[in-house]
Amino acid sequence: MSEYTFKLPDLGEGTVESEIGEWFIKVGDQVAEEDIVGTMMTDKAAVELSSPISGKVIKLAGEPGDVVAVGAALVVFDVEASAEQADAAVAAEAAPETAAPTPQTGRAGHVRVMTSPAVRRRAKEAGIDLAAVPGTGPGGRVTRQDFEQFLGATSDAAHTGKTKEIKVIGLRRIIAERMATSSREIPHFTYVEEIDITELEALRQHLNEKIADKSGRLTLLPFLGLALIRALQEFPQCNTTYDKEHNVLLQHRSVHLGIATQTPDGLKVPVVHHADSLSVEDLGHEIRRVSEAARSNSIKKNELSGSTITITSLGKLGGIVSTPVINQPEVGIIGVNRAVERPVVINGQVAVRLMMNLSSSFDHRFVDGYDAAAMIQRIKELLEYPATIFLP
């Protein structure tokens, strides 16, 4: 028997170790070169790894959730076992082609369904065989919508009254660790202010009437982003990141805007780099683009890092008040709550206005409460008189 050891490669960004996300193979499987063997979790995403060689799997590094160092053995193959597979392939080529091409096979006797790592992971957690899910994507790929529809159709048949163990691994583990670290290390100063966005909403609707492509219509987020960028010119201490290792604050000239985004994998923070150089239309486009890329797992690694301040929004679920957790190493985060019409007293008269709360949190070690409140008040002024956002 001749063995070949596939070692964990460097996944970039200074990664020294990585967590096993999911195996698509098992001991005893015959694997062809370029077959996907599994996923490894970095701080940013799930990375699929393909086999550099054909052979029979004789050893795996561990179970999902185990951590493997870069350069350590990941999969051990018996490469002599691939000779039989090669002979079978030659025979298959000699046979007449009377059938349609079959889907990619990841291991002996098992059809590998084309889908994303996120869907594959959710199917594994739900105990669903992806081969049973009808795929509507290119080449029969199972999309997230396909899986959700299938899951909903089969939920009525699921047994109730049972518990299920869900191992905290991958992105969920990273989110848990970061949230715990942020809450443990950062003394959060939370400040909530209500804002009358009646005029802003009128402006937004007016601008959207000029946009023919409905997919490019503006939400409130790019306006909030521009107002935040303007306010940070007056409060640069809030556009700062803390280098814990060197105990220094890095005050940034450019605003690299993080957009907290809920995805099937959990919370991600894609980044609009140099947001301060964009118009409201361009900022709206970039927010939409990176958010959609984060949800579909197609986002680039550099677009998931480098933010200097973050906006988080729960949309229609925004509630009245929230307590956003700071995205380390930043020192501030702005949370958007739900906008609702309600009666407001203006100059002694009751009027119905569209009101929205901003719930912000700041690192009280580096941002004084007065400065945090003053910056939010400046954002309030800009949003309540939205024309001022566009003044030089």
Give the Cα separation of 378 and 96 in Å (integer): 74
Q: Distance from CA of residue 99 to its chain's centroid?
A: 40
Active site residue 364: yes
Pairwise CA distance, residues 50 & 15, whole Å: 18
What gap in Å lies between CA 323 and CA 188, rounded to an integer?
A: 9
At residue 124, what are phi and psi to the nearest 5 degrees?
A: -65, -40
Please state, in angstroms and rounded to a whole number, the distance separating the CA atoms of residues 380 and 357: 10
The beta-carbon contacts of 229-233 under 8 Å, at least 24 apart in sequence, are 229/255, 229/257, 229/275, 229/276, 230/378, 230/382, 230/389, 231/375, 231/378, 231/379, 231/382, 232/309, 232/375
From 188, 252, 285, 364, the catalytic residue? 364
The residue count of the chain comes to: 392
Cα distances (Å, whole numbers) of residue 305 to 59, 235, 278, 299? 35, 23, 19, 11
Cα maximum dimension of the chain: 90
The owner of tokens 């051990």 is: 76
Joined together, the tokens standing for residue 184 give 């443990």
* Closest C-alpha among 64, 41, 38, 115 to residue 268: 41
Distance from C-alpha of 28 to C-alpha of 70, rounded to nearest angstrom:
24
Contact in structure between 126 and 106 (CB atoms under 8 Å) = no
β-pair type (271-272, 248-251): unpaired
Show Cβ contacts of residue 6 under 8 Å, excluding neighbours closer than 6 positions.
37, 51, 52, 53, 73, 74, 75, 76, 77
Rounded-to-integer distance, Cα 69 and Cα 170, Å: 15
Among 87, 243, 282, 368, the active-site one is: 368
CA distance 237 to 235: 5
**Could you give the CA distance from residue 66 to residue 20 in angstroms, rounded to a whole number?**
6
Residues forming the active site: 364, 368
